[in-house]
Structure 1
Amino acid sequence: MTDTDATLDHQVRQLLESHWDEARGYCVPNPTTYPHLWLWDSCFHAIIWAHLGDERALRELDATLAGQLPNGLVPHMRYGGRRADSWLGPLETTSSLTQPPMFGHAARVLSRHGFEPSEQTLDRAKRGLDWLWRTRRTDDGLIYVVHPWEAGNDHSPRWDDFGAPGRTPDSYSRPARTAWNKARVHDVTFDDDGGAQWSSTFVVCPAAFNAYVAFNLKELAELQDDQELAARAEQLSEAIDTHLWDEDEQLWSDLPVVGGGASARVPTSDGVMPALVTQDRSRALASLRQLDDPHRFGAPYGPANVARSHPSYDPQTYWRGPAWPPLNYLFWLAARRWDLAGAAHTLASRSVDGSLHSGWAEYWNPENGAGLGAAPQTWTGLVIALRDPMTIAQGIGRVSPSEGVSKK
């Protein structure tokens, strides 16, 4: 380990240690702004703990899945001793919505680092993915979400045509969009367990969310040698390529089901995420190369979340242009999968620079690295994974010899 790597290791460990809640067994992303447990944040925390060689990786993953509803839904929030400030459904201790299910990948990373998740945890992970497969699929075989919070990128310009404030770039207002998001929970219907089922105003099949589900199905399938999960991953990946590829943008776009319009095709870096799972090499490379193209997403401190040439691009504004550490980590995995060593190195270097320059911020301006959102934020510690030789040597997520065949 070089001195630089040792310093990074020390800083990341300090970051997680300072946010660790021993009684609850998880890190709070930021004690002031985010005092609860969030689903994909804690999955990323578990990954970071694993890279640090700390057994709290197992405790964090266990805590992530401990709020699972009887029907299998893994809530996007577990409340940290009190309810959240806004209404998130009828349940008292968790939200009724979900979030990107990164627990399949987290379980595999933990196992790779010598931390074997319990059978109970693995069963919960499988049931969480099974719930999405059984209850959230369209006739086209895609997975849908019923609220922007479920997709993770809740202020994305891709949602502008769902009636959200910001139908034109100069009309966007973060407070107005936040109020609109809160109001949309009242449009959601819930099942007997309190889990979100449908919405009268917002149902969409996001390219990134579908990629996350397929990726986690595949990761858990490989960890458990589960052919059913593997088949589902392949089936979903094919549906993504069939229904979501945008030939003009050379990205994958979102598919509105209830509400929405042309904004679903706004070029955002979410449209690169299916490179994690597609078997079409030409599409994967066409999308991934845009992450370093200055006319698209390429910026000095990591990929912008919205194409820099698009009218909606604002490098300072939440999900309207900044660089995000968890997205950079997933782009890095996709670049490694397709053996793009140079692109992966650039992503790693710019992500580390962004994390340090921003003060370990939740996200940052990709043009100048200025920290934005909550700071410090725990998931920014993911940059340690981008520098970990174990991940590189083991080729986590890499295309197998039988993959990479163009399917059109």
Structure 2
Amino acid sequence: MGRPLLIGLTSPYFGAVFGGGEKYLGVTAEAVRDGFPGNVVEIAGAVPADRERYEATLNLDLHGIQLVANNRRVTPVHRLANRLTPLRPLRNRVLASQAARATARYDVHLAMAYRIPVHTRAQRAAILCQFPYASREGVAEFERVICQSEYVRHWVRELWGRDAAVVHPPVDLPAGGPEAAAKRPLILSVGRFFEGGHSKRHEVMVEAFRGLCEDGLEGWQLHLVGSVHEEGPHAGYFERVKARARGYPIRIHTDLSHQDLEHLYRSASVYWHAAGFGAEGGPPEALEHFGLTVAEAMAHATVPVVYPGGGVAEVVHDKEDGFHWRDPRELAEVTLRLVADADLRRRVGAEAWRSARRFGRAEFKRRMLEALRPLVEPASGE
């Protein structure tokens, strides 16, 4: 038996961002720790990570996993680079260079890739691709590419000329079956508050709900949940959303614990998703890469009503386990049908619950280990 391997997972966003990409990375680390025991597993980010906050917010179990950072703290220089858009390319170069230098000590390297090019000096390495960046910089240094959806796989082929294994993001499946009695007159949407990229388009949903209320909808609430980005081009976005929501039965929650978010998922009758609306024909990364929160809502028998751009169309099958909409008028029409028909909500919600089983955490770990085994097992024998 050889020495323990050092298996490193890297992301320039881990430590600063609490989103689907960070959950994907964290559960991958869990899978590696449990599936390849006896090795050392670490997650490396650009800045120090709050272990307890990551575990509470994203429902992660990071025991036995080392968390390291390429920078000891967030400095005024970091904040300036985040705020000033012209400095972003320079910041990205610095982050990529820092990450690459640290990978020389890894036996196996798993690099999360989104926007910032990735490099490796490890002997064996794979890219965990949220979405491929436009250049092919660094890609040839990696043996394998693993991505989150068939939509992303298509663009990996187009932009990088590589094939990829698809491992859908992990969904936390609640114990037991659908809880119809727990449902309330509540519409939910979960997603970070930021502008540009694959923005969650909260303003579209707020305007749609305002219109429903002005047309006579009573007794229903819209709840928006997500962490807030306040730097750079995102400054002011959250405040604009709040301003448009004021005076209507719209609740906005920031940085909820996993437990509180689970309560909202259980209580919500309808789930709205608007990411990608208005972005067709633009950069492909502006469409939803997968739709993790949609699948999480479905796991709680909440009926998804989604804009089917990007990977979301793989998650929700129109008029089977949810509904698609193409413009805000259709979003309002479908929602009013669901509001008026409790039996329809129960039937489609139950089908959504069944459909979400394919995205469970155990299935994610099984598929991720299957994709990583050709990388890790040969390294164990070296």
TMscore range, shorter length = under 0.3
Looking at secondary structure, tell me which structure has more helix per residue.
Answer: 1
In terms of fraction of residues, the more strand-rich structure is 2
TM-score between both structures, scaled by the size of structure 2: 0.28
TM-score (norm 1): 0.27
Larger radius of gyration: 2
